[in-house]
Amino acid sequence: MSVGEGDRVFIFDTTLRDGEQSPGCSMDRRQKLALARALAELGVDVLEAGFPAASEDDFAAVAAIASELSNTGVAALARCQRQDIERAAKALERAKRPRLHVFIATSPLHLEHKLKMSQEQVLAAIDAHVRFARRFVDEVEFSAEDASRSEPEFLAEAFRVALAAGARILNVPDTVGYALPAEYGALFRFLRERVPGIEQAILSCHCHDDLGLAVANSLAAIENGARQVECTLNGIGERAGNAALEEIVMALKVRRDRLRLQTGIDSTRLVPTSRLLIALTGNPVARHKAIVGENAFAHESGIHQHGILSHRETYEIMRPEEVGFERSELVLGKHSGRAALAARLQELGIAVDGAELDRIFARFKQLADRKKEIFDADLEALALGCERDQIGPWQLVSLSVQAGVGAAGSVPAAAVELHHRDGRRVREAASGDGPVDAIFAALKRATGTDFQLVDFQIRALTRGTDAQGEVRLLIECEGRRFAGRAVSTDILEASADGLLEVINRIERQKWPLPVSSAA
């Protein structure tokens, strides 16, 4: 990274350090390495891999990541203590682009109650430790912890000292998420006026989300000269989390008209990388989470659906494909209108209009009052005037599964028995990498349907070991994608039901559906 590249904002990802230290987000070394590779693919400029002095595990993870990544900067955190810096430098030894990130608090609260140091002692510590860090690497970042609650004049002095001692990046953390956007932005303006030579360094923001302002504060900092943003994927981090990387990146991209800045992030990798983090930590994001949440591009209200169908931009400021989603989902529910229903039916190959559409729409509204979301299988059943389980043509008669680990003979296998509407009864068995893979292989064989599994997710809908499990899957068949969903207390049964529902839909598309005229 070279200093002063006008319209570029550098993304410093701290998911593996500030993010990982929050409860429920810890990862082992193998998981950290997998995420680090994905973050590098995503295009982050610098990846903070950990705090090597904190534990042997952190040290080993930083060292492993440092030796693997070649185009991404790798940072390691250290307090203003020689042992911390030596440890961090050692962990970064094999990094192609190492960065030492040295910090000390500057606020009166921290000086008095935590560090028990005077302002003069803090300034001396900054000077000594930034200089010490520069003995190991060129790229030294200095952070003034709790900067937003520090006395501005003292903060400016701390940065003057850090700059003179050789820091190349000056970070201004809002450690406890206390700042307001205008105030935080003004702090950057103030520092740019009061620290001579500051333009030779990169100014950086680091915001926590205690008041839900982390992204707004980061943008205010950027508008006032910050050119590095410290953030985490899915906004994970201490307490309420850190500024969410995906939100900052998309705000910069969507509002380039105003901000006139860009990042090096490949935005189409945002959703896949976010999902990898969820899979590694088991920590989901809220359905309505901006950019990467399941509902982020789902339109349910009738007015919105009508608008989207006539012209996407009426209710969509970015395309779901831009962030790595397949396409915008029109979730049908009780707010959906006739236009959205007709459009979805048409996509399913059910062309209806006039009085027939009115009848289906009336039944759809009744069902929507009872059910929160309406899925494709429900719509087909409505159009056919029957229950969704009765449509077929395939029905699952029986399923048995063998699973196990270790011992010989415990190869995962599944046997299925199916009944076809034309009277055939088919039995098939198959082995697989795991029980779900075996079930899918057996169903593929039994129905003679060829497909590729694109996405498969299981989640608990309720708590406890007897929770209802929901399976969602996406498969590709002859160049088209089909989504399926099933719920059961038995996740293997839900997997089989979900896939069979999709196979049935593929088969039904081969012959036109007779639309019922029953009211």
- Summarize as ranges the residues that interact with Zn ion (CB under 5 A): 18
Instruction: Pick the closest to residue 234 from 281, 172, 266 (CA basis).
Output: 281
- Provide the minimum distance between the beta carbon of 208 and Zn ion in the complex, in angstroms, as a whole number: 6
The C-alpha atoms of residue 466 and residue 479 are separated, in whole angstroms, by: 38
Q: What is the DSSP letter of 346?
A: H
Decide: 492 and 518 in contact? Cβ < 8 Å: no
Q: How far is the CB of 173 from ligand KIV (least distance, A)?
A: 3
Beta carbon nearer to Zn ion, 18 or 376: 18
Q: Which residue in 143, 148, 218, 449 binds ligand KIV (CB under 6 A)? A: 143
Whichever of 17 and 304 has its CB closer to Zn ion, that residue is 17
User: Which region, judged by CB under 6 A, interacts with ligand KIV, from 168-176, 418-426, 467-475, 506-514?
Assistant: 168-176
Residue 476 has φ and ψ, to the nearest 5°, of -115, 130
Q: What is the enclosing helix (H) or strand (E) of 65?
A: helix 56-68
324 binds, among Zn ion, ligand KIV, none (CB under 5 to 8 A by kind): none
The minimum distance between CB 206 and ligand KIV, in angstroms, equals 5
Residue 393: cis peptide before it, omega within 30 degrees of 0: yes
Q: Does 43 bind ligand KIV (CB under 6 A)?
A: no
Cβ proximity to ligand KIV: between 87 and 344 the closer is 87
Burial 170-196 (b: 16+ CB within 10 A, else e): bbbbbbbbbbebeebbebbeebeeebe
Contact between 175 and ligand KIV per CB under 6 A: yes
- Token representation of residue 152: 């501005």
Question: Within 13 Å, how many C-alpha atoms sit on residue 81's CB side?
Answer: 12
| CA neighbor of 490 nearest in space, from 461, 519, 466, 457 | 466
Q: Which is nearer to Zn ion, 18 or 157 (CB)?
A: 18
Query: Closer CB to Zn ion, residue 18 or residue 497?
Result: 18
Each residue 89-128 as x (binds ligand KIV by CB under 6 A) or -, in order, gives: --------------x-------------------------
CA distance 283 to 46: 24
145 binds, among Zn ion, ligand KIV, none (CB under 5 to 8 A by kind): ligand KIV
Binding to ligand KIV, residues 201-260 (CB under 6 A): 206, 208
48 binds, among Zn ion, ligand KIV, none (CB under 5 to 8 A by kind): none
Report in angstroms how near the CB of residue 177 gets to ligand KIV at its nearest: 9
For the chain, the C-alpha Rg in angstroms (whole number) is 28
Order of strands across the sheet with 425-431?
Answer: 394-402, 413-420, 425-431
Of the pair 77, 399, the CB lying nearest ligand KIV is at 77
Residue nearest to Zn ion (CB): 18
| Binding residues with ligand KIV: total (CB under 6 A) | 9
Give the Cβ contact number of residue 63 at 10 Å.
22
Residues 10 to 39 in contact with ligand KIV, rule: CB under 6 A = 18
On whether the CB atoms of residues 457 and 436 are closer than 8 A, the answer is no
Closest CA to 263 of 283, 275, 242, 248: 248
Q: Which of 58, 84, 139, 145 binds ligand KIV (CB under 6 A)?
A: 145
Q: Which of 73, 173, 333, 484 binds ligand KIV (CB under 6 A)?
A: 173
| Residue 53 or 442 having the CB closest to Zn ion | 53
Query: Where on the chain is the footprint of ligand KIV (CB under 6 A)?
Result: 18, 103, 143, 145, 171, 173, 175, 206, 208
